[in-house]
């Protein structure tokens, strides 16, 4: 099932508030985008999380998963998704300004 983009955006909004660039990554100028797959139950509770596409740097991948944990609890899903488990992917970009 494809996610309403609006919900994906609100999840990203919640997750991105916890973004911290790992010091080692910043020092070494590491950048990349980790794609995190989240499995949520019908109430928006996290059942599982995993990196389905690595940023190329383990420290950034770990940071992306940390951000997910810190963002809990997630905003409630829209009615169309309630009651069933679903999977959503969230890209977590790491770019040095």
Model confidence over 37-77: pLDDT tens digits?
A: 999 998 999 999 999 999 999 999 999 999 999 999 999 89
Domain with 29 in it: what CATH number? 3.30.1150.10
Under 8 Å between Cβ of 79 and 38: no
Q: Which among 63, 71, 51 has a CA at the least distance from the CA of 24? A: 63
CB 3 within 8 A of CB 51: no
Query: Taking each helix axis from N to C terminus, what angle separates 5-16 and 58-70, rounded to the nearest 10 degrees?
Result: 100
Global model pTM greater than 0.85: yes
Q: Indicate the number of domains in the chain.
A: 1
Q: What residues make up the domain containing 86?
A: 5-94
In the numeric block, the tokens 């109430």 are attached to 43
């Amino acid at each position: 099932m494809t996610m309403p983009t609006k919900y994906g955006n609100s999840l990203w909004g919640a997750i991105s508030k916890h973004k911290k660039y790992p010091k080692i990554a910043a020092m070494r100028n590491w950048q990349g985008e980790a794609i995190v797959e989240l499995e949520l139950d019908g109430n928006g509770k996290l059942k599982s999380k995993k990196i389905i596409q690595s940023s190329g740097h383990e420290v950034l991948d770990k940071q992306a998963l940390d951000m997910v944990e810190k963002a809990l609890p997630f905003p409630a899903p829209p009615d169309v998704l309630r009651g069933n488990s679903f999977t959503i992917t969230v890209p977590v970009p790491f770019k040095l300004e």
